[in-house]
Every structure is written in structure tokens, then in C-alpha cells.
Amino acid sequence: MFTYLEELTVTEAEQVRKTIQALFRQTCILQVKYDPATLTPRDNPQYEICARHRGFIENYIEVLGCELVHDAQEHIFRLSGEHMPREKLSLTSTVILLLIKLIYRDRIMGEGLNAPLTTLKEIREYGRNTNLITEKLTQAQWREALYLLRIHQVIDLPGAVKDVEDDTPIYIYSTVNLFVTAADINALIEEYREEEEEHETAEEIIYPDSDQ
């Protein structure tokens, strides 16, 4: 297997290694990425590496118990299989992912092919309207969620996560559908609300009204 890499140039072999590492780190590789500030599309070199060396990469990751899947409709290469690395999102990050999915769905249904952009301000508004965000989130919570979603190619930002402000444009990729389908949204929201209600009920029991 490694004879294949030895037959490549040093630069090309290194690009193949980095692309495999990226697959395991971020789950999928997009064909085209966007700058949210300018909406300028740019080809992703790692997608070209996947396409050019697909056979080798498939054989390599198969040894590790994974499968390389090419989704022609979404224009991505992604990992699949029981042994693929899985990111466990915190409850807050899961809620933010759900809200971004809701925004993406509304953008596509309401505005067709227009760019699916959002902002922190809009995410908070959706959170209040759906009752999924009932308290002010810390900067650390926002950064954790945005960092993970960016790593996994769900969103893109024009700069560093730490520099994101209320009106900074956030581009939403269609890969958000890989993490949560439309059919899952209502069930997840309902489950979350039930947990919140149980939590509030428990607090009422623990902290009864002082007048009673």
C-alpha cells in the first residue's frame, strides 16, 4: 500500500497524508468552500486530492474500519462506518446546531438558491422563538459550538471564531443535513423541551416558594 505513496512526489504524498488526516478530523471534505463575507467560491484542494487518489484512500481507511463515501449530490467526500471518529456535542452545541439547521431550512425553502447566511443575532432570535435558548449563553459556549461546527464543515466564517460578532456573516453548508435531518428536528426539540420542563419541576421541588 505504501509503495503507492513512494511513487508520488514528496509534495503530492504529503498532501495525501494531510487529506486523510483532515477526513478523520472533520468527517467530510467539501468540493467548494465559501467566504461568508464576499460569497466568493473557492475550490478545495483536498477534494481534488480525494478524487485523484480515491482508490488508495479507500483502501487505506478500510484497514482502519471506515469507508470513504462520495456524495455526488452534496459534492463531498465523507467518512462512514462503525469505527469512524464521533464528536460528542455538549447540550448547548447541539441546540445551536439545531437552530442553524432550522435557519438553513427556512433559507432554502423561503429564498431558494440564495446564499444560506446567518448571524449570531439571528441564531439567538431563533433560540428565543423556539424556546430552545432560555438563558444568556457565555462567550465560551458560543465559541465551542462555532469551533466544532466549523471543524466539521457545517459552517464557515470570514475570520477566527474568537472574532465573531453579532452581525458577522456565517455561511451554512448543506452538510448540516448530515448531522440532523429535517425529520429529526421536531423530535429533538420536543425531547429538549421535556428535559427543560423536568429540570424546572425539579427546581420547584427543591426550592419551594418561601411563602408556602
- Number of domains composing the chain: 2
Q: Which of 198, 147, 154, 197 is nearest to 176 (CA)?
A: 154
CA distances from 67 to 47, 74, 125, 167 (A): 16, 17, 39, 39
- pLDDT score of 203: 43
- Residue-wise pLDDT tens digits, 83-140: 776 767 788 888 999 999 999 988 887 755 567 999 999 999 999 998 889 899 999 9
- pLDDT score of 207: 42
74 occurs within a structural domain: yes
Spatial CB neighbours of 59, under 8 Å, sequence gap ≥ 6? 1
Spatial CB neighbours of 168, under 8 Å, sequence gap ≥ 6? 36, 119, 120, 157, 158, 159
pLDDT tier for residue 168 given thresholds of 50, 70 and 90: very high
Query: According to DSSP H, which parts of 9-137 are helical?
Result: 10-26, 45-52, 54-63, 91-111, 120-130
Would you give the DSSP letter of residue 163? G
> Do the strands 76-80 and 155-156 form a parallel or antiparallel pair, or are they unpaired?
unpaired
Whether this model's pTM surpasses 0.75: yes
Report d(CA 100, CA 170) in Å as an integer.
Answer: 10
**15-19, 70-74, 141-145, 200-204: the lowest-pLDDT one:** 200-204
Report d(CA 128, CA 142) in Å as an integer.
Answer: 15
Residues 118 and 73 in one domain: no
86 occurs within a structural domain: no
Average pLDDT estimate for 150-155: 93
Residues 108 and 67 in one domain: no
Cell 428565543 belongs to which residue? 128
Would you give the DSSP letter of residue 161? G
Residues 8 and 45 in one domain: yes
Report d(CA 28, CA 185) in Å as an integer.
Answer: 22
Is the pLDDT score of 145 beyond 90? yes
| Domain residue limits at 51 | 2-80
Q: Which long-range contacts (CB under 8 A, 24 or more apart) does 2-7 make?
A: 4/56, 5/56
62 occurs within a structural domain: yes
CA distances from 4 to 1, 22, 29, 46, 90 (A): 6, 20, 22, 18, 40
pLDDT tier for residue 162 given thresholds of 50, 70 and 90: very high
Report CA 133 to chain centroid distance, whole Å: 19
Residues 76 and 159 in one domain: no
- Residue-wise pLDDT tens digits, 25-53: 988 999 999 888 888 889 999 999 999 99
pLDDT tier for residue 180 given thresholds of 50, 70 and 90: low
Report CA 33 to chain centroid distance, whole Å: 14
Residues 14 and 56 in one domain: yes
Residues 142 and 186 in one domain: yes
Is the pLDDT score of 16 beyond 80? yes
Contact 49, 16 (CB under 8 A): yes
- pLDDT score of 211: 46
- pLDDT score of 80: 87
